[in-house]
């Protein structure tokens, strides 16, 4: 592979940037809700249970949206669903912005979550079928940059507006409405972007020999009955679930934990999260994206999981001391970019044929977000009952995640997937499995 082939073109980055707004909005919705939660709790007089239910509403909506959206995009066209999803996100966030009571807030969270969830598997499929396989690591992991931007910008707005009461949440969600509507306008009306989508799809199909893919689709029901595809679906779901439980906990409840358990101010909690994520996105860009398509992909994964696990164990003993907790949170967050969602996204685009990727990824997302939603209901209650217990639960979650990651790397090697560690020059499962084994 020469140097020229190792570079992504301006057209590639244009596609990735517009598609990756799905990751931006997913993270921004989660974090904005988390930052706003303590403010909403005071403004609307919420109990800890109600605070958990409110956060859970968003997570459940994302789960349902992932399940439905992935299937719809494979049935009716990824680009069509891709364009509609983002408009509905804008409608949902607009409702949240002007919510005057809890029911209105729940309706807005439900609409925004459904649409955001539907956009996640669809956007990944749009990228993976238009970007060459050898660039998937960098291209797909770059969506995590947008995920972190969603976190950082939301935390930044939250910090600036921390002392403004209910105006803070309204400002955060008004910004998300602007981002969603602007992106929808580009996706739906830009002739140049449409041309880029069509050109990249045709070029990638021609170079990979999949130009006749539409005539050679594999039935989803066949895949679900086949252990060759069912086993990766199960392991990927387990991996992402037990990675996502800690990630969602701090994405939604970092401010709540530091205010309620550590007795710090809203401004302090938001600032710690903001600074931490600036460092994390630097690590993601300068280290992970640089080595994602190299032999160091799984070295980074194991280092990230190991240090993340250690941070929770230390927090279980000393997490009530806010300085210790802040240090452990920092270590967890900056190491977390070396594993978890980035490698999960890469794997989901490798194990399945292109015409069912969005559906299969949507199933996995839906299951994970549903279980995460249930856990979110109890999270504030567990924090109030025993912060140490919460840390041990999250440590155990990461241990299971690590074990499933080891099993998935064995599948990657055994299946002969295109992979920079085990099979750097092999063809992909997609290219070898128009006929299911």
Two tokens, residue 164: 């403004």
3-state secondary structure of 124: helix
pTM of the model: 0.78
Asked if residue 65 lies in contact with residue 113, where contact means CB atoms within 8 angstroms, the answer is yes
Q: What is the pLDDT of residues 244-299, one digit of tens each?
A: 999 888 877 887 888 888 888 777 887 888 888 889 889 988 898 888 888 888 99
The per-residue pLDDT for 140 is 81
Cα–chain center distance at 180: 17
The per-residue pLDDT for 218 is 58
The per-residue pLDDT for 429 is 39
The per-residue pLDDT for 329 is 92
The per-residue pLDDT for 96 is 93
Task: Give me the average pLDDT of each 10-residue run along the chain (437 residues).
Answer: 56 83 87 84 80 77 83 73 86 92 89 88 79 75 84 83 86 94 87 80 68 52 79 93 90 81 80 86 87 88 94 89 90 89 84 77 84 83 88 95 94 85 58 42
Q: What is the DSSP string of 29-91?
A: HHHHHHHHHHHHHHHTT--HHHHHHHHHHHHHHHHHHHHHHHHHHHHH-HHHHHHHHHHHHHH
The per-residue pLDDT for 229 is 83
H-type alpha helices, 261-356: 266-283, 289-291, 297-318, 322-336, 341-348
Q: What is the pLDDT of residues 340-395, one digit of tens each?
A: 888 888 888 788 777 777 778 888 888 888 888 888 778 888 888 888 999 999 99
The per-residue pLDDT for 94 is 95
- Nearest 5°: the CA angle 58, 289, 15 is 65
CATH topology of domain 9-206+221-432: Growth Hormone; Chain: A; (1.20.1250)
The per-residue pLDDT for 245 is 93
Burial class (CB in 10 A: 0-12, 13-18, 19+), 191: exposed
- Nearest 5°: the CA angle 54, 95, 79 is 100
Q: What is the DSSP string of 132-199?
A: -GGGHHHHHHTHHHHHHHHHHHHHHHHHHTTTSTTHHHHHHHHHHHHHHHHHHHHHHH-HHHHHHHHH
């Amino acid at each position: 592979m020469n140097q020229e082939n190792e570079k992504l073109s301006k057209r590639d980055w244009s596609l990735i940037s517009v598609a990756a707004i799905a990751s931006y909005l997913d993270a921004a919705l989660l974090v904005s809700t988390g930052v706003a939660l303590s403010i909403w709790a005071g403004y609307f007089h919420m109990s800890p249970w109600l605070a958990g239910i409110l956060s859970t509403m968003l997570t459940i909506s994302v789960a349902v949206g992932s399940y439905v959206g992935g299937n719809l995009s494979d049935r009716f066209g990824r680009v069509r669903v891709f364009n509609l999803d983002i408009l509905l996100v804008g409608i949902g966030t607009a409702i949240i912005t002007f919510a005057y009571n809890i029911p209105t807030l729940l309706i807005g969270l439900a609409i925004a979550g459904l649409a955001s969830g539907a956009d996640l598997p669809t956007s990944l499929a749009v990228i993976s079928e238009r970007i060459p396989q050898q660039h998937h690591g960098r291209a797909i992991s770059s969506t995590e940059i947008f995920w972190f931007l969603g976190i950082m910008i939301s935390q930044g707005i939250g910090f600036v507006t921390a002392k403004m009461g209910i105006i803070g949440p309204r400002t955060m969600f008004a910004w998300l409405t602007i981002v969603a509507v602007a992106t929808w306008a580009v996706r739906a009306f830009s002739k140049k972007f449409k041309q880029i989508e069509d050109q990249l799809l045709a070029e990638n199909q021609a170079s990979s020999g999949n130009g006749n893919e539409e005539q050679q689709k594999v039935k989803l029901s066949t895949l679900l009955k086949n252990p060759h595809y069912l086993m990766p679906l199960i392991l990927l779901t387990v991996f992402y679930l037990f990675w996502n439980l800690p990630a969602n906990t701090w994405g939604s409840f970092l401010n709540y934990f530091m205010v309620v358990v550590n007795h710090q101010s809203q401004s302090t909690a938001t600032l710690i999260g903001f600074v931490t994520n600036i460092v994390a996105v630097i690590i993601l860009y300068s280290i992970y994206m640089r080595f994602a398509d190299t032999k160091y992909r799984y070295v980074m994964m194991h280092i990230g999981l190991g240090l993340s696990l250690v941070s929770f164990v230390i927090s279980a003993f000393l997490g009530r001391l806010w300085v210790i907790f802040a240090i452990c949170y920092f270590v967890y967050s900056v190491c977390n970019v070396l594993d978890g969602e980035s490698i999960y996204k890469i794997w989901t685009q490798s194990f399945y044929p292109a015409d069912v990727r969005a559906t299969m990824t949507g199933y996995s997302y839906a299951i994970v977000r549903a279980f995460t939603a249930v856990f979110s209901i109890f999270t504030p209650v567990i924090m109030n009952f025993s912060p140490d217990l919460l840390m041990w639960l999250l440590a155990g979650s990461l241990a299971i995640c690590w074990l499933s990651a080891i099993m998935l790397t064995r599948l990657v090697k055994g299946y002969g997937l295109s992979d920079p560690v085990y099979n750097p020059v092999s063809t992909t499962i997609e290219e070898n499995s128009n006929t299911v084994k």
